[in-house]
Amino acid sequence: MKITINNQKIAVKEGQTILEVARQNKIDIPTLCYHSDLTIQASCRLCLVEIEGRPGLYTSCSTKVEDGLVVKTESENIARARKINLELLFAQHREECADCIYHGRCQALKICRQLKGKINGFTDRKKDKPTFKFGPALEFDSSKCIDCRLCVDMCHRQGIDFLELEYHDGLYEVVPSKDPKKDCIYCGQCLMHCPVGAFEGVGEYEAIEKPLQEEGKTVVFQFAPSIRTTIGEEFGMPYGSVVTGHLFAGIHALGAKAFDTSIAADVTTVEEAKELVERLEKKEPLPMFTSCCPGWVKFCEFYYPEFIPNLTTVRSPHMIMGGLIKTYWAQKEGLDPKNIIVVSIMPCLAKKYDITREELWLDKGALKPVDYVLTTREFAQLLRKRKINLKEVKPEEPVAPFPLPTGAGVIYGASGGVMESALRTAYEKITGKTLPQLEFKNVRGLQGVKKAVVDIAGRKLKVAVVNGTINARKILAELKIDPHAYDYIEVMACLGGCIGGGGQPVPVNEEIRQQRAASLYQVDEKSVIRCAHNSPFVKNLYQEYFNNQDNIKKICHTTFKKKNKEVNR
């Protein structure tokens, strides 16, 4: 089929919408309620177009193409209707632009400038609307909501259904569920798909400014594997830009120490591979699930507590790194752990919840491994406030005793990365031989569920990689029918894994997630050392500090338990 848009003839496929075709051909049609990850809402009514031979205006996001269709995306009538609709949306939306997650990248403001709309033409109608706090991780300010319902759709797509519509005074409004069987897992995918910043993380960047100025305190920042390929977007750099050296420099410019969490991901890999081999030998409890994603762990503890024994006991890399900083590194530097402030720069809102869990603290709950969690966005905001442009700083190298990580540690940020990293090490532990090919490409990619059978010296290891908790539900349902369907399963709550986490730069879509992940794999391919167990740092750590099993247990392992509903209203 062929259609014409603005006098341009375009070949199209049956089932496509006018908006999809326009975007593929770089024809700009404004929209706020459309997201390629979700179902069509057609609620903002900014994507209006004219169709020759038909009266009125049509939403391009919901209008399917037909052979011979002639479409106009710009006219006086279209501009007038878009402007009115946009002003009505702004009449619902309380502006707080200086503190918005879309700082400098707001689509609503961009469209408003194009249409010369008035955003202050109405008295705020939503002053009395409440703000809902979801635990220590997430907030929803309903006075900023424009009722696009993308958050509700996303929460449903995640299989959580914690966000729902409630009828008030003739209108449906977004609210957190009162149902005791539904709870927030802090994945933050609602935030990532909200077009107007009605959701935001519980901010902490202001709180850490005092320790940065406090005498006698040593402030240490660590940054997660995925941050190196995402934070550049906050400073106008192309998607997937690798800025590892810039991160070290930016943190040092704040007056803090800087370490790469990927180093601890190598430790997580070694411990997780060890546990996997032990479980395979004992044949229970299998399958073993990864546990480095706190959103997935909360999901399992609340919705599927019967699978808690299947979670690996190994802690997430940033908690292991925090533990190493306050024990191993503190001893080397002669520092009192109580005077060390550890700040984790994470792609994840759920990590803010993670650090509140006392079972992850050291010395029987007396010492927190990590004191603060900043999302990628929050850290960028802190840098901007200090007038540090990550794009312009001169890259720096890491300092002792934490050197550059292996490639296996870096790929933790992509869906399938934890699985691949552990398999590289588990292969050698099982066979005593070096893996002939390091890439497990059949567990890579952004598909919701990836399944594979990995041959390890004749042993057929059945594995699965999952991203998005709705897909976790599918795998868990399968396991209830056949408990032996898999041996090892990686689960990440967010779409694409950490590169699509709730703390990452917005906006995001499949293409952006793909570019971020591809850059992580490129770092791995260029790494001199690509297996965690071959890291000189890891070898030395096990020789001089982890030669004590108590240290390993204290820093690297934890327990999990059934959770009751934590977020109420």
> Please, what are the domains in the chain?
2-90 (3.10.20.740), 209-556 (3.40.950.10)
* DSSP code, position 478: H
CA nearest to 373, candidates 404, 408, 347 = 347
Between CA 222 and CA 225 the distance in angstroms is 10
Q: Are 397 and 251 in contact (CB under 8 A)?
A: no
Q: Are 421 and 532 in contact (CB under 8 A)?
A: yes
Buried b (16+ CB within 10 A) or exposed e, 299-317: bbbbbbeebbebbbbbbbb
What is the 3 state secondary structure string of 312-342?
CCECCHHHHHHHHHHHHHHHHHCCCHHHEEE
pLDDT in tens, 325-350: 999 999 999 999 999 999 999 999 99
pLDDT at 103 (0 to 100): 83
pLDDT at 46 (0 to 100): 97
Alpha helix ranges (H) inside 125-202: 150-157, 189-193
% of the chain beyond a pLDDT of 70: 99
Q: Which stretch of 7-16, 125-134, 177-186, 237-246 has the lowest confidence by average pLDDT?
A: 125-134
pLDDT at 448 (0 to 100): 96
pLDDT in tens, 85-100: 999 998 888 888 888 9
pLDDT in tens, 423-463: 999 999 999 988 888 888 889 999 999 999 999 888 899 99
Angle at 548 (CA atoms; ends 283, 281), nearest 5 degrees: 10
pLDDT band at residue 356 under the 50/70/90 scheme: very high
Q: Name the strand (E) or helix (H) holding 346.
A: strand 340-346
Q: Are 137 and 108 in contact (CB under 8 A)?
A: no
Between CA 352 and CA 375 the distance in angstroms is 9
pLDDT at 122 (0 to 100): 58
CA nearest to 260, candidates 424, 422, 401, 423 = 401
Between CA 136 and CA 187 the distance in angstroms is 12
- Cβ contacts of 290 within 8 Å, gap of 6 or more: 272, 296, 311, 312, 418, 419, 422, 489, 490, 491
φ, ψ (nearest 5 deg) of residue 460: -90, 110
pLDDT at 124 (0 to 100): 56
CA dihedral 286, 288, 294, 296 (to 10 degrees): -60
Between CA 62 and CA 37 the distance in angstroms is 15
pLDDT at 127 (0 to 100): 62
Between CA 365 and CA 554 the distance in angstroms is 11
CA nearest to 211, candidates 220, 203, 222, 202 = 220
pLDDT over threshold 60, residue 177: yes
Q: Are strands 372-375 and 340-346 parallel, antiparallel or unpaired?
A: parallel
pLDDT in tens, 508-527: 999 999 999 999 999 999 99
pLDDT band at residue 545 under the 50/70/90 scheme: very high
Q: Are 303 and 182 in contact (CB under 8 A)?
A: no
φ, ψ (nearest 5 deg) of residue 552: -60, -45
Between CA 388 and CA 370 the distance in angstroms is 24
User: pTM higher than 0.75, yes or no?
Assistant: yes
pLDDT at 121 (0 to 100): 58
- Secondary structure of residue 489 in the 3-state scheme: strand
Q: Are 2 and 65 in contact (CB under 8 A)?
A: no
Residue 534 tokens read as 């071959």
Between CA 93 and CA 125 the distance in angstroms is 8
- Secondary structure of residue 529 in the 3-state scheme: coil
* DSSP code, position 17: B
pLDDT over threshold 60, residue 539: yes
φ, ψ (nearest 5 deg) of residue 68: 85, 0
pLDDT in tens, 237-251: 999 999 999 999 999
Q: Are 453 and 423 in contact (CB under 8 A)?
A: no
Average pLDDT rounded to a whole number, residues 135-155:
96
pLDDT at 400 (0 to 100): 82
Q: What share of the chain is helix, strand, coil (3-state, %, to 5)?
A: 40, 15, 45
Residue with tokens 């010492």: 367
Between CA 412 and CA 224 the distance in angstroms is 9
Mean pLDDT of the chain: 95
Is it true that the peptide bond before 287 is cis, omega within 30 degrees of 0?
yes
| Residue 406: Cβ within 10 Å count | 28
Residue 542 tokens read as 């096990």
Would you list the DSSP string of 200-251?
Answer: EE---TTTTHHHHH-TT-EEEEEE-GGGGGTGGGGGTPPTT---HHHHHHHH
Q: Are strands 70-72 and 131-134 parallel, antiparallel or unpaired?
A: unpaired
Average pLDDT rounded to a whole number, residues 282-295:
96
pLDDT over threshold 70, residue 504: yes
Average pLDDT rounded to a whole number, residues 63-75:
97
Question: Hey, which bits of 35-185 come out as E strands?
Answer: 48-51, 58-59, 70-72, 131-134, 138-141, 163-168, 171-176
Between CA 364 and CA 362 the distance in angstroms is 6
